[in-house]
Chains A and B, each alone.
Chain A
Amino acid sequence: MRQEIRFSGLGGQGIITAAVILGRAAALYGGKHVVQTQSYGPEARGGASASAVIISDEPIHYPKVTEPHIYAIMSEEAYKKYGANASADAVMLVDPGYVTSRPDCTCYEVAATAEAKARLGKPVFANVIMLGGLLEATGIISYEALEHAVLDSVPKGTEENNKKALAIGMELVREQRP
């Protein structure tokens, strides 16, 4: 089964890092086939930032996303560009501190930036909080695989806070489960 995940938001929110971590988790620790791509250039500077991950049990031929099933969105502008046309069966996570619109599909509010500041002291953990939420909302890979990839990717000394960030994201989604 081919699953397409779109991360989008603002430059500096760690959007691409989040996609790379998810891709790494699925590819190296989840036994999946993965392609991760991202937008480069002026559109990736300052303003919008977007990245995509395709995860599949089968080899992935077509490397570009066609219709994402899973969205993690961290700005209203990104919502308008990527989220507004999401299909009804998609799953979306939005940071309500930045995204005011809501889609028709299943949507979880993950106040990643606010929680990162309040509980971990720095907004830089917001993207890992989103990843935790995405894991809880979709179960797309195992927790162990994701934690492994997070710990591979983050600076030394931040491991505990990043693990907490994953837990915060998971908890935020769990609370909204119907």
Chain B
Amino acid sequence: MTDKTEFLNGNTACAEGAIAAGCRFFAGYPITPSTEVAERMAARLPKVGGTFIQMEDELASMAAIIGGAWAGARTMTATSGPGFSLMMENIGYAAMTETPCVVVNVQRGGPSTGQPTMAAQGDMIQARFGSHGDYSIIALAPSSVQEMFDLTVKAFDLADRFRTPVFLMADETIGHMREKVILRGDVEIIPRRELGSDELPCKPDANGVPGFGTFGNGHGVHITGLTHDERGYPATDSAALHENLVRRQVGKIENFRNEIADVDIVNPDAEVIFISYGAPTRAVQQLLADYPGVYGHFNLRIVWPFPDAKLAEFRAAKAFVVPEMNLGQIAREVRMHTNVPVVTAPKLGGALHSVDELKHAADVAATATGTFTEVLL
């Protein structure tokens, strides 16, 4: 397969990335501003031997992609905030059963029905902590149409490697804008590690990840959302077993947070450093182009797990400025990992931060002394 250059919107590029990554089952429910992902998958999957189904709601969509994953497919759904909330129940099930799958969230303004057609990044904390209980996940944030393709491919690889749900936390800006995109034809698919015949289905390997007992491959596995032993059998009354299971499932991702980090570190010797992901990254890149050499930039393509050790690479940092289309969700995380003053630069309503607003935030940050300051834009 050769590369193809197209002029597509981000949502369509995401669907193409999924197809290129070998996704062959998509279950979803239409919701603005993610619907183009489902529409493209509906058109494309039957042509590559895959299956598309429109479910009755997002609870069902999430359930179906987990079922499809156990039947052996790479599976995906796509949604936005209200649907993401409904998926939380079965996202927890996927975490507990260590089911690889990809969930695309093209974020819009919330809470509730909010602003269906406007961009936001208000679901970042929900992505990490939205389901009940302790668990970890991986969340990626694209800031271009090309990254909608590339990071969707990457999401499937990470899902399989770590046996976890992986979220593509896009936003309306990136989902709906059109740019030139190279649809890579040479995408290498790294298959999930199949359970060995002498392995227990929930016994981890050295990296904390068990082999995957695909249905129909002779394993006769029992998969349950209950706390379970290494055979996969319910074992709900042992405190030690439960703690070991939960800590192992969290650790298999968190222990690799700096190894799998996907970041840009620009001007590490600058004093005022912008930390961004998704659409605001584009505004920060413009600021750096307009004021060359003045500011540093820590751009995150993987937001969760947060690559905390990378912050130290900004040796001269006097302030971290975090522009987000929410009220400082990732700024709080940054604060947890540094003693450098953190300036949160929130923007709600759907408009992207302007370069002037970022410049203003940088000016405030240059004299910031408090550990956590909000700049009003």
Enumerate chain A interface residues (CB-CB to B < 8 A): 20, 23-24, 27-28, 33-42, 44, 60-64, 66
Contact A20 B180 (CB under 8 A): no
Stretch at the interface among B159-167, B278-286, B300-308: B278-286
Q: Cβ of A36: which chain B residues have Cβ within 8 Å of it?
A: 7, 177-179
Contact B7 A27 (CB under 8 A): yes
Q: Cβ of B179: which chain A residues have Cβ within 8 Å of it?
A: 27, 34-36, 60
B228 contacts A by Cβ under 8 Å:
no
Q: Please, how many angstroms separate the alpha-carbon atoms of A36 and B352 in the complex?
A: 15
Q: Please, how many angstroms separate the alpha-carbon atoms of A27 and B145 in the complex?
A: 13
Contact A61 B286 (CB under 8 A): yes
- Nearest CB in chain A to that of B181: its residue: A27
Q: Dominant SS at the B interface? A: mixed
Q: Please, how many angstroms separate the alpha-carbon atoms of A95 and B278 in the complex?
A: 38
B5 contacts A by Cβ under 8 Å:
yes
- Nearest CB in chain A to that of B33: its residue: A40
Enumerate 14 A-B pairs (CB-CB under 8 Å) in ascending A order.
Answer: A23-B7, A27-B180, A28-B180, A36-B7, A37-B173, A38-B176, A39-B117, A41-B32, A41-B117, A60-B179, A62-B285, A62-B286, A62-B352, A66-B354
- Report, as a range, how many residues of chain B touch the other chain: 20 to 34
B355 contacts A by Cβ under 8 Å:
yes
Contact B180 A33 (CB under 8 A): yes
Within the complex, what minimum Cβ distance (angstroms) separates B108 from chain A? 10
Name the one of B6, B117, B289, B352 contacting A63, with C-beta atoms under 8 angstroms: B352
Within the complex, what minimum Cβ distance (angstroms) separates A149 from chain B? 8
Within the complex, what minimum Cβ distance (angstroms) separates A166 from chain B? 19
Return the 4 tightest CB-CB contacts between A and B, nearest first: A41-B117, A61-B286, A40-B117, A61-B285
Q: Please, how many angstroms separate the alpha-carbon atoms of A139 and B289 in the complex?
A: 27
Q: Please, how many angstroms separate the alpha-carbon atoms of A23 and B6 in the complex?
A: 11
Within the complex, what minimum Cβ distance (angstroms) separates B252 from chain A? 36
Within the complex, what minimum Cβ distance (angstroms) separates B163 from chain A? 35
Q: Cβ of B283: which chain A residues have Cβ within 8 Å of it?
A: 61-62
Contact A34 B7 (CB under 8 A): yes
Contact B178 A23 (CB under 8 A): yes
Name the one of A33, A42, A64 contacting B352, with C-beta atoms under 8 angstroms: A64
Q: Cβ of B282: which chain A residues have Cβ within 8 Å of it?
A: 61-63
Given A61-B285, A64-B352, check contact A35 B7 (CB 8 Å). no
Q: Please, how many angstroms separate the alpha-carbon atoms of A60 and B145 in the complex?
A: 12
